[in-house]
Structure 1
């Protein structure tokens, strides 16, 4: 076999890829490295705890962050950072504004204090449906479960929703095309609009339920209003945010099962997770809430005001600890099969913004994250977020599946939807993300460097087969610095047959039985870019990477991909063995500092790195 490799390499044995200039360093979507064991004890994370505490102290003292102001008098907030490897917070902080004295029923604001969480309830609704029914129901049309919609006219696409084309998944993923609200947030709640030039309305057109202080609409009243509405767009045309979509999901679930959404949430989510500080409807005389009123005719719902059939869209309450526990359980797949969680944590549709997508009901943000501390090279990490706002309350749950961490922000302010409260909410969210997501990325990279990088040699002690892996500044993944099999430089062979210019190993999410699976993303020499050459930019290929996901597993030998690399690791994550299935070889990790012997009689010198 060695002779065949030498024949293949003969034309390129002296190839110097460094002469080709820049080499691509492309990646697959997802984490580049495994989540480190014991993230909460990582030195990088512990350093961030100290740094972030100082950042918060500075924000409090100066009343501002780089993203905007912090209002401290009439605003109270609770923020937390959590991870999947511990039930304790990585960080938490609470502030109670002196202007809100008398709003706490407990002695102090803490991680058990209940806030309204508004539209984060949508997340609880989807979570409940997934646990109770599974994802198979997403493809079912809503008319199967709400017969009133099946009988609605659909002959005019401009004025009538074609309900037979609206599935439960379309409702959950904001692709139904139906109206945003019925009753809730209708401008007829504002007095004096006719004096400003709005036309007078018939009595039957004036909203009589659903607005603050009116009481919630009954199911019959809500469906009557829904059937009178024009569609916003056709189903599956473009994402349109809809609150009443989740009102309908709640009705559909109750018709499918005969169980109320509240009972379903309690039995599917609350009880299995042991959540005492998350409730589906108003908590009554609870001993630890923050009860802030916000006078507004459209959205000024009081703390104890029930939303009735709108509860599945925005009626729940949660504490910092309770909501963070829900986020942690999603990242851990505590209640769902891992495959179901992975399916759920994927985009449902794109938006008009390049770094924004929509899920069920995720508001997905594509965050550029430095690949290493201080690096100007970034990769995109998808953050699965859901925010909420109702009355005096704003809330945010942000999950980073790549890192196994999440962020929770809960805020109460009498100007929650004004400049002060809203700006504070945004500033806190940005400060948390800009600090903790890069720290988690750095911790994973650091652990990969310590645990996986190094030199792997043949198990019999010879160095006829050697793989050297390293972290390189400005590059993502584990760089393949040497790949020698039976005395042959495999990277040089690949350079000859496929113009491969080195490669980097990237984690592909497969872990079990103390094994980790990686795939190599092969590099290529980059010629002069289009801009420098006076050519228009490439639409299909992009500036450097094109579509690396399409090349994975493309080079195969004996039914195994040449890009497959498997690590055997200890309980602490330290690699001991590297297997390359295509080469039917198993290499052991060399102890740090141990010299590598010459490569054998056919090599006078060790080969140079093929990636410059």
Structure 2
């Protein structure tokens, strides 16, 4: 039997519409639009508007604010994957003369470079970028707020620096690089640095009265890599699919996973929120969501992906404050995941049997702790504790016959099979830990040796 997600159930669609209707009404947003993507396919979109008979759709542009940072981070990872830089390189190596050249590229991506949260005055989001023509005008004299690498401190100027880094390495403008390396390959034809019709106008809604004021729409200049972009619910759902699976035309699945991996410790009191490389990571009701939120005067945006559920949601509003687009997007993911849980793929046997690997499967012992080793697809292995908590990991096979840890305690560590002279398996060596077929197996290469008297009872 095959499964299909051609459309959501009517009850699910109504629940999604109800959620954005409440957000638009209670948040007093002039308009609100949202979309839900599942396994790479736009499954639903909806909108609400304060104008009778006129509502936006999934093709209407809104300004997406700091979701722009995720696009900028993708461009940096592309440079890394091409060997043009290393994430641990100091900024000065590629972009000299900033005054903050000792920070690393990774620290800028993860907001742990200790830079200030905002630019020098005036408020950059409501003033033209021409007021800050140079990086010195962005960073100012007091750019260091915290010790480098010690904590997460969100920095808009940090992403301006990354945009300038991209331009310095590529020898082209951030906007042109973005278009040719991300937007065009992924088919994001309705994402742009400046608004393209149809697009929403940005509004401020009075906090104590139901009246509105138009917000200015400024070209942010050097600050563009931190928050310039306009996009649509449909385009952002396509981008969300890329953030879940990668796309070899833009960035590999492995590099996208790296972006989704925490790069800094969570702040005290915020244990369910951290940051990767250009991506926010949160825990909501037992579900891990990755993506980003964004805001600029007149606009709110949220994009969240649940990779495990294969679901992403986007929420966009044209109000300076009011509805939490991030909270709504998270709720849309939850609604679909709970109402229509992902149907697992059918179990299928491996296409072929490698008997040399098959003999490695089964129970192994690290000291007295028992583990099970399973053979998985693509010559991979999975080591999991049996009967209790412990250090488990997945491993990818390498051409030299070893395996490299992919997650957990052993991420990046090497698993080796040690054989006797006759070719039979003696033990497993994992990051210096010896795994044997029996607990403290006599004659095995257990560090410290195994007592010759063997196991004994209380009266022995």
Instruction: Give TM-score, length-normalised by structure 1.
Output: 0.55
**Deviation (angstroms), 1:245:** 0.2
Structure 1 residue aligned with 2:300: 394
* Matches of 2:20 and 2:277, distance apart in 1: 35
Structure 2 matches for 1:157-176, cutoff 5 A? 163-176=100-113
1:51-66 equivalence runs, <5 A? 51-59=11-19, 63=22
For structure 2, which runs of at least 5 residues remain unmatched after alignment? 207-212, 354-358, 394-408, 429-436, 438-460
Tell me which residue corresponds to 1:365.
282
Contact 2:417 2:425 in 1 (8 A): no
Residues 1:59 and 1:366: Cα distance change in structure 2 (over 3 Å): closer
Preserved CA contact (<8 Å) 2:65 2:301: yes
Do the aligned residues in 2 keep the contact of 1:250 with 1:312 (CA within 8 Å)? yes
Match of 2:382 among 488, 513, 519: 519
Partner in structure 1 of residue 187 of structure 2: 274
Q: Identify the match of residue 91 of structure 1 among 44, 53, 56.
A: 44
Deviations 1:294-342 (A, max 9, x none): 389xxx9946421111110001100111111122123232121233223
CA contact (8 A) 1:70 1:427 kept: no
Alignment of 1:284-295 (within 5 A): 286-294=196-204
- Find the counterpart in structure 2 of residue 148 from structure 1: 97
Q: Structure 1 123/440 Cα, relative in aligned 2: closer, same or farther at 3 Å?
A: farther
Q: 2:170 aligns with which of 234, 257, 260?
A: 257
- In the alignment, does 2:16 pair up with 1:120? no
1:354 counterpart residue number: 271
Aligned residue number for residue 77 of structure 2: 130
SS, match of residue 387 in structure 1:
strand
Q: Which of 55, 66, 71 is the matching residue for 2:26?
A: 71
- Give aligned pairs, total: 388
Match of residue 49 from structure 1: 9
Q: Report the 3-state secondary structure (helix = DSSP H, G, I; strand = E; otherwise coil) of the residue aligned with 1:112.
A: coil
| Higher relative contact order structure (alpha carbons within 8 Å, sequence separation ≥ 6) | 1
- 1:160-559 correspondence runs (5 A): 163-183=100-120, 186=121, 207=122, 210=124, 212-213=126-127, 216-220=130-134, 222-224=135-137, 226-280=139-193, 282-283=194-195, 286-294=196-204, 302=215, 304-334=217-247, 335-352=250-267, 353-369=270-286, 381-413=287-319, 416-417=320-321, 420-422=322-324, 425=325, 427-438=327-338, 442-444=342-344, 447=345, 450-451=346-347, 500=370, 510=377, 519=382, 521-524=384-387, 545-549=389-393, 558=424
How many Å separate the matches in 1 of 2:314 and 2:112? 26
* Residue 80 to residue 238, structure 1, CA distance change in 2 (3 Å): same
Q: CA separation in 2, counterparts of 1:302 and 1:559?
A: 71
Larger Rg: 1
Query: 1:224 offset after TM fit, Å?
Result: 3.9
Q: Classify the secondary structure of the residue corresponding to 1:139.
A: coil
Q: Conserved in 2, the CA contact under 8 Å of 1:403 and 1:440?
A: no
What whole-Å deviation, never above 9, does each CA across 1:163-187 have from its counterpart, x for those lacking one? Answer: 343012211110110111114xx4x
Partners of 1:389 and 1:333 in 2: CA distance:
25
Cα-to-partner distance string for 1:515-547 (whole Å, 9 max, x where unaligned): x956363422xxxxxxxxxxxxxxxxxxx6243
- Root mean square deviation, CA, Å: 4.0
Q: CA deviation at 1:139?
A: 1.9
1:40 corresponds to which residue? 5
In 1, Cα distance between the equivalents of 2:342 and 2:96?
53
Conservation of the 8 A alpha-carbon contact between 1:278 and 1:322: yes
Unaligned ranges ≥5, structure 1 = 1-35, 153-162, 187-206, 370-380, 460-484, 525-543, 563-581, 583-612
- In 1: Cα distance, 2:236 partner to 2:219 partner: 20
